[in-house]
Amino acid sequence: KAGVTQTPRYLIKTRGQQVTLSCSPISGHRSVSWYQQTPGQGLQFLFEYFSETQRNKGNFPGRFSGRQFSNSRSEMNVSTLELGDSALYLCASSLISFGGLNEQFFGPGTRLTVL
Amino acid sequence: TQLLEQSPQFLSIQEGENLTVYCNSSSVFSSLQWYRQEPGEGPVLLVTVVTGGEVKKLKRLTFQFGDARKDSSLHITAAQPGDTGLYLCAGGYGDMRFGAGTRLTVKP
CA distance B107 to chain A (A): 23
CA distance A95 to chain B (A): 11
pLDDT in tens, A18-39: 999 999 999 999 999 999 999 8
Q: Do A109 and B88 touch (CB under 8 A)?
A: no
Q: Do A100 and B50 touch (CB under 8 A)?
A: yes
d(CA A26, CA A94): 8
pLDDT in tens, A43-90: 999 999 998 999 889 999 999 999 999 999 999 999 999 999 999 999
Q: What is the pLDDT of residue A40?
A: 85
Q: Do A102 and B95 touch (CB under 8 A)?
A: no
A99 pLDDT exceeds 90?
Answer: no
- Comparing B6 with A1, the larger pLDDT belongs to B6
Q: What is the pLDDT of residue B96?
A: 83
A45 touches chain B (CB under 8 A): yes
On whether the CB atoms of residues B11 and B21 are closer than 8 A, the answer is yes
The b/e string for B47-73 (b: 16+ C-beta within 10 A; e otherwise) is bbbeeeebebeeeebbbbbbeebbbbb
Q: Do B45 and A56 touch (CB under 8 A)?
A: no
Chain B residues in contact with A48 (beta carbon < 8 A): 94-95
Region of B79 (left: φ > 0; alpha: ψ -120 to 50; beta: rest) is beta
- Comparing A68 with A41, the larger pLDDT belongs to A68
